Amino acid sequence: MKRLALVLVALAAATSAANADDRIAPVTDPTVKQECGGCHMAFPAGLLPARSWRRMLDGRADHFGEDLALSPETADLIAGYLSVNAGDTATRGLARKYMRWVAPDGAPLRITENPAFLRKHPFPDSTWSDPKVVTKSNCLACHAGAAQGDFERGDFEKGGRTRPPF
């Protein structure tokens, strides 16, 4: 009995270590959640470097065609939070993988153009244009737990193939 308990503890530890690599810290700051989570999910800070977040907030009057209408104080607060938690501050896990593709002085504005993203999302156009998805940035269409930082690959394994959940 004792031995079984030990095995279970070891298994649980192994599973959570594996899962840790498919997880990325979600946005927890209430202001960032509110101001950056209204039109799309509040994307995890770790998927872009600090330079990108600053550039994005500097360009807030034309954010992919939208004026975010943020006061300078709120923009500073958001840029500060996202930068402190940015991908280039991470030492391991998904953020490191995404940062590998970003040039040392690069400040991309899109997560969905990163080769790390594209390699794991090699879907046909029909998937992206599906009414349930519409755009690559709609992470929640496929990753139900994305707002909690959960991008588990296991959710997608069906019959030995990896595909979107619909």
Report if residue 34 touches ligand HEC, rule: CB under 6 A: no
Interface residue with ligand HEC, options 25, 55, 137, 150 (CB under 6 A): 137
Q: Which stretch binds ligand HEC (CB under 6 A): 1-9, 85-93, 99-107, 121-129?
A: 121-129
Give the up-direction half-sphere exposure of residue 103: CA atoms within 13 A in the CB hemisphere. Answer: 5
Residue 22 φ/ψ, nearest 5 degrees = -100, 10
Whole-angstrom Cα distance, residue 44 to residue 75? Answer: 17
Rounded least distance, CB 12 to ligand HEC, Å: 21
Nearer to ligand HEC, 2 or 161 (CB): 161
Whole-angstrom Cα distance, residue 91 to residue 88? Answer: 8
Burial class (CB in 10 A: 0-12, 13-18, 19+), 147: middle
Tell me the site size for ligand HEC, rule CB under 6 A.
Answer: 39
Q: In the range 3-22, which residues lie near ligand HEC by CB under 6 A?
A: 22
Interface residue with ligand HEC, options 33, 55, 96, 136 (CB under 6 A): 136
Residue 164 φ/ψ, nearest 5 degrees = -60, 155
157-158 and 161-162 beta bridge pairing: antiparallel
Provide the binding-site residues for ligand HEC, judged by CB under 6 A: 22, 35-36, 38-40, 43, 47, 56, 63-64, 66, 68, 78, 94, 109-112, 116, 120-121, 123, 127, 133, 135-139, 141-143, 151, 153, 156, 162-164
